Amino acid sequence: MEDFMRSSEASGADALGFRVSNKDRTRGQLPRVSVAVAAAAFLSAGLFVAYDATRTFAETGAAPPFAAISQAGTGRDAIIVAPEKAALFQSFAPAEPDAITGIAGRGLLALALAGLITLTAARRRDPDAAELVRREAERRRAEAALAAIREEQRLLARRYHEEKLRAEAASRAKTNFLAHVSHDIRTPLNHIIGFAELMEHETYGKLGDTRYRDYVQSIKSSGQHLLNSFATILDLVELEGGQKPLRRDPVLLDEVMESVAKRFKGQIERAGLHLKLGAPTGAVLRGDRLGLVRMIGNIMENAVRFTHAGGSITLSAFAADDGVVIEISDTGIGMSEERLASLSQPFALGDATFTREGGGPGLGISIARAIASLSGGHMAIDSAPSLGTTVAISLPTEPAAADLAA
């Protein structure tokens, strides 16, 4: 009944989800190997004691302390020695106490050794069981490590998501701020430019001193410069915020390249530079023609601005089966790695070397990168100080667009 209650208690604990260890179930039980070793050890000890006693009595000639030659009498406790063997026992001398003590000592020693062997075997684990325990421990450690890694990945993903949301919120706040500021400032700037033009033309009378004309011209030019800067900022904000979608029309790349080359031809000649136009590619893109012209024009403007007289600018394109690469290379002053890394951020004006000759907020590259990204492409810049700069823009092509353009 007690065993049944124990088994019922264990099965009930398993059913409720509690873990019942094997150690509690097998407590008080010896392994089969230990039982076999114990039996062999004590059997060997018994045989040793019997052999030792027989050999000792044979050497000393003493009577053994046991007699197997007995015969049951009529009485309950009567023992009668067989007459034919009584003479045999009378011929032996009585056993010496030292011999009996030696036999007893060696017998106890043999039994102690058998017990020690039994204990050693009982404490020694089965090799298969030890291997299973080791594998189970390794499995648990691996599961614990895997759980820790998963938890760390979950925390990292959560942090990444939180940081991404914060960055997107900051970007939206910056975009909204720039858009509002650009709109709020453009209105008074238009008024300032308009009044400056009225004063320049002396619509309501003479200004008097000729120096006023120079002042009015400075006000007008400064206002137009600020107006163009804020217009550029607003364009970048709209491009990055997706508020200014680009058209998806078939565009001949060769026509875009020729248009940009004609636009900058006079400026390049006045700067004492040489323009090299690459061979036609016949590639047809699907995009916004004005956006592509502006993208290449912004890069060309920087190349002209930062290339000294006597230098050269190369405008070329290379077509492949699935895309085209547009390259604008110059032999200008180039950029260091630090300066090149800062170009990924808008308003990166850099040191005075890059701002002494041209105005503007420094958004030409940022706008070109935004147009390239919205067109499904990518822009890369490679530069070295005193060697020049190369800007490569990769754009996808569509065979279907070529049929429409034809």
Q: What is the DSSP string of 104-151?
A: HHHHHHHHHHHHHHHHHHHHSPPHHHHHHHHHHHHHHHHHHHHHHHHH
Average pLDDT over residues 220-237: 84
> Are residues 58 and 83 both part of a single domain?
yes
Contacts of residue 118, Cβ cutoff 8 Å, sequence gap at least 6: 34, 37, 38, 41, 42
Q: Is residue 5 part of a domain?
A: no
Predicted pLDDT of residue 48: 75
> Are residues 253 and 401 both part of a single domain?
yes
> Are residues 111 and 195 both part of a single domain?
no
Q: Is residue 129 part of a domain?
A: no
> Are residues 231 and 254 both part of a single domain?
no
Predicted confidence band of residue 94 (pLDDT cuts 50, 70, 90): low
Distance CA 305, CA 17 (A): 77
> 388: which strand partners?
384
> Are residues 230 and 266 both part of a single domain?
no
| Burial (CB count <10 Å: 0-12, 13-18, 19+), residue 27 | exposed
> Are residues 27 and 167 both part of a single domain?
no
Predicted pLDDT of residue 89: 45
- Where is the domain boundary, 240, 257, 282? 240
> Are residues 286 and 401 both part of a single domain?
yes
Predicted confidence band of residue 401 (pLDDT cuts 50, 70, 90): low
Average pLDDT over residues 195-210: 83
Predicted pLDDT of residue 226: 85
Residue 348 in tokens: 């990166």
> Are residues 264 and 383 both part of a single domain?
yes
> Are residues 166 and 110 both part of a single domain?
no
Residues in the chain: 406
Predicted pLDDT of residue 21: 45
> Are residues 384 and 283 both part of a single domain?
yes
Q: Is residue 326 part of a domain?
A: yes
Q: Is residue 97 part of a domain?
A: yes
CB of 66 within 8 A of CB of 54? no
Looking at the chain, the whole-number percentage of residues with pLDDT higher than 90 is 30
Q: Is residue 2 part of a domain?
A: no
Predicted pLDDT of residue 22: 47
Q: Is residue 13 part of a domain?
A: no
Looking at the chain, the whole-number percentage of residues with pLDDT higher than 70 is 71
Distance CA 294, CA 44 (A): 104
CATH of the domain at 327: 3.30.565.10
Predicted confidence band of residue 92 (pLDDT cuts 50, 70, 90): very low
String of DSSP letters for 341-358: HHTTSTT---SGGGTSS-
Integer angstrom CA distances of residue 185 from 20, 173, 232: 77, 18, 13
> Are residues 49 and 158 both part of a single domain?
no
Count of CB atoms within 10 A of residue 147's CB?
A: 10
Amino acid identity at 149: I
Number of structural domains found in the chain: 3
Q: Is residue 259 part of a domain?
A: yes
The predicted-structure confidence for 290-346, as pLDDT tens digits, reads as follows 999 999 999 999 999 999 999 999 999 999 888 999 999 999 999 888 888 877 666
Residue 250 in tokens: 């078939």
> Are residues 196 and 332 both part of a single domain?
no
CA triplet 209, 211, 215: central angle to 5 degrees? 125
The predicted-structure confidence for 336-363, as pLDDT tens digits, reads as follows 888 888 776 666 554 434 444 455 567 8
Q: Is residue 106 part of a domain?
A: yes
Domain limits at 73? 21-124
The predicted-structure confidence for 16-66, as pLDDT tens digits, reads as follows 344 444 444 444 445 565 677 677 777 777 777 777 777 776 766 555 554
pTM above 0.85, yes or no: no
Predicted pLDDT of residue 144: 94
